[in-house]
Amino acid sequence: MATAEKIVHVSEFTNEPFIDFTKPENRTRMEEALKKVKAEFGREYPMWLNGKKVTTTEKRTSTNPSHPMEIIGVFQNATAEMARQAIEDANRYFDTWKKVSPQERAKFLFRASQIVRERKYELNALVCYEVGKTWVEADADIAETIDFLEFYGREMLRLGEPQKLVPMRGERNYLMYIPLGVGVIIPPWNFPCAIMAGLVAASLVTGNTVVLKPASDSPTIAAKFIDILFEAGIPKEAVDFITGPGGAVGDTLVTHPKTRYIGFTGSKEVGLRISELAGKTVPGQMWIKRTVLEMGGKDGIVVDEEADIDAAVEGTVQAAFGYQGQKCSACSRAIVSEKIYDTFVQKLVERTKKITVGPSDDPNNYMGPVVSQSAMKTILDYIEVGKKEGKLLTGGKRAAGDGYFIEPTIIADVAPKARLAQEEVFGPVLAVIKAKNFDQALEIANNTEFGLTGAVYSKNPEKIKKAEETFHVGNLYLNRKCTGAMVGAHPFGGFNMSGTDSKAGGKDYLLLFMQGKSIAEKVS
């Protein structure tokens, strides 16, 4: 059992404050960081396998979606054999890493948090360039990264102690949480630092070793974060960093018999494939693989006739078009009571037309590019579908510039079961759906295969109570937008095809990366 000397005393968790970019000194620092990061464009980044830098003859690149000709970083193209070896090496080092005390592992996270905090502007700038986040969105991403490190570090101090059980006469009994083994981490590009760092930090602090395969569109920020972990003192053998194609590398990592669990955030299609592959037992496998899956959403904001319409319009616009609608929590359906429908739609269009679109490193733009050419094509194809299913009110086409810019798009009078009301678009496209009344609005809100986030705007307490009971989502927001979950305050994860409801940033999250060992000793 742990001794009292090992206990680390830390302050109570608080969320990292956001940068106020209206202050001239902060704007200047951000502009300087953008210049500094741009000077590093084209740099090559190695993989880290078994504590050593590894390069390959075949390369892959990460580009700037605001200016696709600009290469952010050059990366290695791993083979399936390298992926197999990475799991073997991580499994071997697991026996060493799991013996490091939970308190010591937590200290590593706190050190990493401090380094991220010190380099916040530089990391913000990299996120701006690599995935097209605006200053404010990039800052939220890095602040959430800090929050995950701080929150999970504190949680491990709590869970790393022997857990009290119901006493048994004549016995000494307690429960301890122990790590699982090798975790394969496959994060998304849309929160390229926060979600990636959260999955890696949760894995490491609980005593597991990690093989990280970053998203193809955002490997540079992941490479920088790995360097920060090493600088914080985490042994290089505890984290393997591998870049390469999803088919050859990803599938090999998931299906390897020594892989103990997979932490994934991304599309429903890829998440289901990982679930299926992980569910098949292969020769040499001694456990049922765990999956921690965050998948898609088709999130709705219900606007009741008794709502503050202006507040509902502002919240809907922010949730639909913040980061170009590329959040699994983004509002892609506004479900509006027919009594206020016309007024709401008119105000919504007026507000949306004020949105500026352009390169994300320019703070005057509210919306930057979508992440890639393929994403842009998919979104524009969905807009064409939407034009047939409803009435295009604003937007609907590519915006000016050499980047992957799309106008914020609103399509009204969409039927509840139309494709645009059911399928995840993952772009700046909002379907507006008319409901006869509040009850029907809730039925429509629940009529997709997803169940991630949702919001309700109403001043009626009875309707709010009904929404709390019947709106079937993992994260429900009342009289506020459905994006912007904060670590600790809004544990995040959804129902149905939105994933395994893992509640990232919550008190239960680290338990997904550990197993409980109950110990009882007879005493005289």
Catalytic residue IDs? 294, 328
Query: How many other β-carbons are positioned within 10 Å of the β-carbon of residue 266?
Result: 22
Q: Are strands 450-451 and 495-496 parallel, antiparallel or unpaired?
A: antiparallel
Distance CA 379, CA 376 (A): 5
Distance CA 298, CA 489 (A): 22
CA 76, 79, 83, 86 dihedral sign is negative
Nearest-5° angle of CA 264, CA 203, CA 143?
A: 80
Helical (H) or strand (E) element with 125: helix 120-131
Backbone torsions φ then ψ of 125, nearest 5 degrees: -60, -40
Q: What is the DSSP string of 53-64?
A: EE--SSEEEEEE
Q: Is 30 helix (H, G, I), strand (E, B) or coil?
A: helix
Give the total residue count for the chain.
524
Distance CA 166, CA 342 (A): 60
Angle between helices 194-205 and 219-231 (to 10 degrees): 40
Strand arrangement of the beta sheet that strand 52-54 belongs to:
52-54, 47-49, 239-241, 209-212, 182-186, 259-265, 290-294
Q: How far is CA 518 from CA 87, 172, 254, 303, 515, in A?
A: 29, 11, 29, 49, 10
Cβ–Cβ < 8 Å for 19, 139 = yes
CA 146, 188, 258, 508 dihedral sign is positive
